[in-house]
Structure 1
Amino acid sequence: MGWGRGEAVDGSETGWGRQAEPAPRWRALLDRARLAGRGAEHHDVDHRGEETPAPPPETLPRRAAGTGWTGRAQAVARPADASFGAEPAYRVEATYRVEPAYRVDPRYGGEPAYQAEPAYRAEPEPRAEPSWRAEPEPRAEPSWRAEPVRQPESGYPEPPPRGRGTASVESRYALLDGGYQPEPAPAESRYALLDRGRYRPEAHPVPEPARIEPPRIEPARVEWRAPEPETELERAAGVLRRELGGPRVLAFANPKGGVHKTTATVLAAATVGSVRGRGVLAWDDNELRGTLGLRAGSARHARTIRHLIHDLAQIEILEGATLLEHLDDYLRHASDGSYDVLAGEESPRFAQRLDQFTVKRVLELLRRTHDVVCVDTGNNVESPNWRTVMQAADQLVVTTVPREDAAFSADWMLDLLHEEGMGELADNAVTLISCPTPGRTPLQDDLERHFATRTRAVAVVPYDPALETGSSIEYHQLQAETRQGWLKAASVMLEPFAR
């Protein structure tokens, strides 16, 4: 039997296996301990001169050392003083042994402030822990976020199985005082702990499984940059590369001779052909002896428009590649292959055979094989072929030089076209001013202002010494400034048709 197990002490049993001393001795001892720790008065028994000492208790039997109950005796009363006549220690019977389950609380000791309750009551049943410290049962994780349960790697000994014995349940803090090692909490997934707000990554490190990350491909970034402003030359070349919506006929006209009609026809065809690469032809439709065949193209044969008209009936019934193959026998080619040439007849008697009907048939044949046809119309505005070309032309180019007679002839021709019912062709015409000499004359400024009021646009091409000789025209031998001027002039001619 022991006092720590809630058994009452009635004074009839001492716990040492012998009959107890009379009850008054025990009561005196308890009364002294109670009076020593009551209220704020804590008097030491050695201070005999300050207070009236309590009557000395009767002598109690002294116990032998080593019984295991020394701590409990000190908790009840002070050590026996020799002045009170302590009796010899009693011998503990061999049948007594300390219950193994009992552990002395180190905080429990015999101090003067301790007072024994009159009636020792059994330790009450432990109350349930508050909700703020109670460990909730782990709930099942959903299948979409549950992780494998990882057993903690701890060195705790295996806790005793629950449910054994009849000892009352004690709080986990009291068990820790007695050397109890807490049972490791069941492993919970970090997501469940996060749900309850108790998870801290630094306190619950969870090693991530090793996995191979796929190579990260950065999405391509599309950076928009404002396009640089297009230069005038780039814009002109772009116009010449576009689709023209069908074959186009450009008629170069001025009744006055020596105003660069043939030169303009050759250089316009060479410029457009150098950009487009194919499908450009220059035709010398001068009823008199023309020089276009001499200034442009290679003389690989002596065939002219007369030979073509002779075989026109057999050629115009052909189609596709066969037509191109047979027509090529009547054409001459530029040295760089950028354009073709249909030379005019040198004999004046042939002009009678170029009637209106024949000119229409030739133009129709050339439209089937080429995209751009540049026609040198000659000087006779009364001839049927001149009027037929004007009626079939898509763009009229009025050629002139900065001279008053050349400008007067061009202005008179525009009036004639209005009288003949071709005023729209005249209004949409392009005036091309060729400079036969270097430098700029005051008359050129007057001509530009005048023809700007009569035609759609005015283009000026600079002087080039390679054109003074009157020999064969080689486009690549011209100066850069000359080629740039003709590039701008050609784009102005075809701009209304470019798509």
Structure 2
Amino acid sequence: MPPSNGTRPYDDAPPRTPRSARRAPSVEYQAAQPDPTEQLAQILRQEIPSPKVLAFANPKGGVHKTTATVLTAATIGSVRGKGVIAWDDNELRGTLGLRAGSARHARTIRHLIADLVRVEHATGYDLYDMLDDYLRHASDGSYDVLAGEENPRFAQRLDPHTVRRVLELLRRTHDVICVDTGNNVESPNWQTVLQAADQLVVTSVPREDAAFTADWMLDLLDEAGMEELVANAVTLLSCPTPNPTPLIDDLAGHFRTRTRAVVVVPYDPALESGSNIEYPMLAAATKRAWLKAAAVMMDPFAR
């Protein structure tokens, strides 16, 4: 017989939690990991407070100075979209003008200097239009090229005052100026570019003679009072063959003690012929390596 209080026999059991009050299964949310490639690209997209000069240097020939200059300009330009130029300031027949940019004309730094006063006095869009008559452009439009002069006698006209005027002109029209320097540390144009540089990029390949020459150059710059430029430099080690040699690790370790950073860029068959450098033709891994290299160079200037 039911209890007299009207309760049911199972009323002494714990009350059931209403369905609406039951605790929902916990769900853990994890923030998406940032894309490393996008992080590097973001460094290159940052506003630059003032135009920057990147000098690519090593008195030894055949150490990929021209390749590094072109691919840095191409990488930064492909991310920023505009405002990047590569200048061949080699005093003796540099090849940058042959390996980069469309040969829409044969004008070089010699022709620009001949008209320098007229171009310097231009302003606004007129300045861009006038300077453009002396520039070549990458096939994808990512950067401009100021080709060097093939006549070796012209080097005598690249005195310090003229080089400074050209750099100042390029600063008025471009945000990033990548300069391919020559092999003569005693030449006035080489010294003037290094004195004006915001970032020194030491290029080398995994060879003892190339590394020794780079080391000697850094000592020379230290003695010339450019210790800060040396300490903040970036060393770029390029692999000329598909299989990196053990020496590259030794050189990387050494130059980390002398410069701010060391970046190793891989071999790419698209660069082997020594002909025109086409950034879009590079392997994805090569593009990532150059993106990292360019970001390391530009990181101190990014806001």
TM-score under structure 2 length normalisation: 0.90
Say if 2:114 is the partner of 1:313: no
Q: Distance in 2 between matches of 1:488 and 1:423?
A: 25
Q: Distance in 1 between matches of 2:191 and 2:171?
A: 18
- Rg bigger for which structure? 1
Say if 2:236 is the partner of 1:436: no
Large movers: runs of 4+ above 4 Å:
none
Q: Distance in 2 between matches of 1:406 and 1:251?
A: 17
Which of the numbers 69, 86, 111 marks the counterpart of 1:265? 69
Say if 2:70 is the partner of 1:290: no
Which of the numbers 424, 433, 436 marks the counterpart of 2:228? 424
Residue 17 of structure 1 corresponds to none
Q: Distance in 2 between matches of 1:351 and 1:474?
A: 28
Higher relative contact order (CA 8 A, sep 6+): 2
Say if 2:182 is the partner of 1:378: yes
The 5 A counterparts of 1:52-451 are 227-451=31-255
Q: Distance in 2 between matches of 1:446 and 1:235?
A: 29
Say if 2:254 is the partner of 1:456: no
Aligned partner of 1:365: which letter? L
* 1:399 alignment partner, SS class: strand
Aligned partner of 1:249: which letter? V
CA shift for structure 1 position 235: 1.0
* 2:106 alignment partner, SS class: coil
* 1:250 alignment partner, SS class: strand
Aligned partner of 1:288: which letter? L
Question: Per-residue displacement from partner, 1:204-251 (whole Å, max 9, x unpaired)?
Answer: xxxxxxxxxxxxxxxxxxxxx764221321111010000111101000
Question: Per-residue displacement from partner, 1:264-311 (whole Å, max 9, x unpaired)?
Answer: 000000000000000000000000001000000000000000000000
Q: Distance in 1 between matches of 2:302 and 2:89?
A: 26
Q: Distance in 1 between matches of 2:31 and 2:154?
A: 56
Residue 294 of structure 2 corresponds to 490
CA shift for structure 1 position 455: 0.2
TM-score under structure 1 length normalisation: 0.55
Which of the numbers 267, 270, 275 marks the counterpart of 1:466? 270
Question: Per-residue displacement from partner, 1:140-185 (whole Å, max 9, x unpaired)?
Answer: xxxxxxxxxxxxxxxxxxxxxxxxxxxxxxxxxxxxxxxxxxxxxx
Q: Which has more helix, going by share of residues?
A: 2
CA shift for structure 1 position 450: 0.3
Q: Distance in 1 between matches of 2:35 and 2:234?
A: 22
Aligned partner of 2:236: which letter? L
Q: Equivalent pairs: percent with the same residue?
A: 75
Unaligned runs of 5+ in 1: 1-224
Q: Distance in 2 between matches of 1:250 and 1:412?
A: 20
Aligned residues: 276
* 1:278 alignment partner, SS class: coil
